Amino acid sequence: MVKICCIGAGYVGGPTMAVIALKCPAIEVVVVDISVARIAAWNSDQLPIYEPGLDDVVKQCRGRNLFFSTDIEKHVREADIIFVSVNTPTKTRGLGAGKAADLTYWESAARMIADVAKSDKIVVEKSTVPVKTAEAIEKILTHNSKGIRYQILSNPEFLAEGTAIQDLFSPDRVLIGGRETPEGRKAVQALKQVYANWVPEDRILTTNLWSAELSKLAANAFLAQRISSVNAISALCEATGANVAEVAFAVGKDSRIGPKFLNASVGFGGSCFQKDILNLVYICECNGLPEVANYWKQVIKINDYQKSRFVNRVVSSMFNTVAGKKIAVLGFAFKKDTGDTRETPAIDVCKGLLGDKAKISIYDPQVTEDQIQRDLAMNKFDWDHPVHLQPMSPTAVKAVSVTWDAYEATKGAHGVCILTEWEEFRKLDFAKIYESMQKPAFIFDGRNVVDPEELREIGFIVYSIGKPLDSWLKDMPAVV
C-alpha cells in the first residue's frame, strides 16, 4: 500500500489530501501538523476550515484511509510520498523584507524529514514557494542523507477557495515538475499515477522543476493583474459616468480575453495574490530585472489604491468625517463561500475607517468575532505564521463590534459598506434596513451586489464601484 503523508493541515493540505484519499482507496493518507488544536478540529465534526463539500469528503474517508495526527515523525518515517504544505510567509525583517518568502517552516520540515527518514522518499512541494526552493530543499536533504535517496517534485496547487473541492475533483490541470534525470522522471511518474486515479491523462502536465514553481507565481500574478486592470478602469468609469459592469461585459465578450475575473470590486484579497506577486517582484530584482519587477509592483499598487479610494469615498460622502458614527460592515471574508480573511480588503477598509474614529459593526456569516478582532490587531504579514506564533488578539479594538445578523449590524448606522459578495446580501430587506438607519442613509457597495436604482428609490444615497455617481457624491472629491 502506498503511504502518503502531508505536513501541514491548512487550506491546502487538508482538502487536497481528503480528495486524494477519497479518489484512491488503495492509498493511506495521513495529514500531520504541530498544532494539536488544528488536528483535533480535523478529527471532530467542526472542521477548522469552511469549504463547500469538504465535510462530506472528510466524513467518507476519515478513519478508513484518511487520518489526521500530531505524530509527525512516525508518519513521515513510514511515508513513500511526503507532501509539504507549510506556511511560506512574506519576510518582515532582514534581507528581502516585505517581499521575499520566509522559508523557515519549509527548512525545518526538510531537516526533520532528513532526521527521521529510514527509506527513500519522494518529497513534494505543495506550498507556494519561490523559484529554486526545490534546489535549497534538495541540498538540505542530500547533505543530511545518510545514504537515503530523495527526489524533489514541485506540484503547485491551483485551488480557488469556495470551489476548492470542485477544483480538486475536476482540475483544469495538475502540474508536476521534477528533475530531468531517470530518477526524477520515475518520481514524476509515481505522483502522476496517484492523480491518474481520477484526473484525465491530458490534464496532468509534467515540466522541469523551475517551470512548475514559476507557473504558480505567474498564474496568480496574471489573475491579480486582471482584477487590478478592471479596478483601474472602474476609477475612470466613476470620473466619466461610464458603467464598469457594461464595460467589463463588452470587453469580456472578446474570446481572446474572456469574461472571468473582470468584476470590479474594493480589491483582491486571499493568501496568495499579494504574497506571490511580492515574491515574483523579489525574484525579478534578484535576477537583475528591475523593469519586470516594477511592472508587477503596479498590480499591488492599484489594489492598495482601490482600497484607499473606497475609504476616501465613504469619509468624503459623510460630510468629511465618520468620527463617532456607526458604520455597518457586511462581509469580512475576502470573497463569498469561504471563512478565510487572509489579506481581505475588509481589514484595510476597517482600519482606514477606525483611523478616522468611526465605530464599526461587522457581520459575516462565516467569520468569528475572535478572527475579526485578531485580524484588525495584527501587523501586516503576521497572519501567515502558525496561530500559536501570532500575537494574541488584544481587547483594545473597542470601536469594533461583531454581530450575527445583518439587521443588527445596520441598526442605527449612518452608512453600510458591503465588502463581501455573499448571496444573502442580495436578498436583504433594504427597506427595513433603511427604516432603522440614521438619515441620510448611505450604502457603499464594494462588490456591486445591490441594484443602485432600487436602493435610491427607497431613499439611500448609494455608491457602487465603477457605476455612475449619485448626484450627492458628484460634489465630493474622491481623492483627498
274 is in an annotated binding site: yes
Establish how many alpha carbons lie within 13 A of residue 207's alpha carbon, considering only the half-sphere containing its beta carbon: 17
Q: Is the dihedral of CA 198, 201, 165, 58 positive or negative?
A: positive
342 is in an annotated binding site: yes
265 is in an annotated binding site: no
355 is in an annotated binding site: no
13 is in an annotated binding site: yes
256 is in an annotated binding site: no
Please give the DSSP secondary-structure letter assigned to residue 118: -
Q: What is the CA radius of gyration of the chain?
A: 24
Range 92-112 burial, b when 16+ CB lie within 10 A, else e? eeeebeebbbbbebbeebbee
38 is in an annotated binding site: yes
Which residues are within 8 A (CB) of 275 and not within 5 positions of it... i.e. 6 or more apart?
Answer: 88, 89, 90, 101, 128, 343, 384
33 is in an annotated binding site: yes
272 is in an annotated binding site: yes
Structural contact between residues 332 and 409, judged by C-beta atoms closer than 8 angstroms: no
127 is in an annotated binding site: yes
Provide the angle, in degrees to the nearest 10, between the axes of the packed helices 133-143 and 104-116.
30
444 closest CA partner among 325, 355, 341, 343: 325
User: Long-range contact list for 423-431, CB < 8 A, 24+ apart?
Assistant: 423/336, 424/365, 425/330, 425/331, 425/449, 425/450, 426/450, 430/454, 430/455, 430/458, 430/460, 431/458
89 is in an annotated binding site: yes
- Please state, in angstroms and rounded to a whole number, the distance separating the CA atoms of residues 40 and 57: 17
9 is in an annotated binding site: yes
DSSP 209-257: HHHHHHHHHHHHHHHHHHHHHHHHHHHHHHHHT--HHHHHHHHHTSTTT
240 is in an annotated binding site: no
Q: Which three cell numbers stand for residue 2?
A: 502506498
Range 399-411 burial, b when 16+ CB lie within 10 A, else e? bbbbbeebeebbb
Helix (H) or strand (E) holding 434: helix 430-436
Asked if omega into 440 is within 30° of 0 (cis), the reply is yes
286 noted as active-site residue:
no
24 is in an annotated binding site: no
Which residues are within 8 A (CB) of 287 and not within 5 positions of it... i.e. 6 or more apart?
Answer: none
Structural contact between residues 384 and 275, judged by C-beta atoms closer than 8 angstroms: yes
173 is in an annotated binding site: no
User: Which one of 5, 24, 272, 284 is the catalytic residue?
Assistant: 272
270 is in an annotated binding site: no
Tell me how far the alpha carbon of residue 30 is from its chain's centroid.
Answer: 24
260 closest CA partner among 218, 235, 223, 234: 223
Summarize the annotated binding site for NAD(+) as residue ranges.
Answer: 8-13, 33, 38, 86-90, 127-128, 161, 272-275, 342
Summarize the annotated binding site as residue ranges.
Answer: 8-13, 33, 38, 86-90, 127-128, 161, 272-275, 342
- Could you list the active site residues? 272
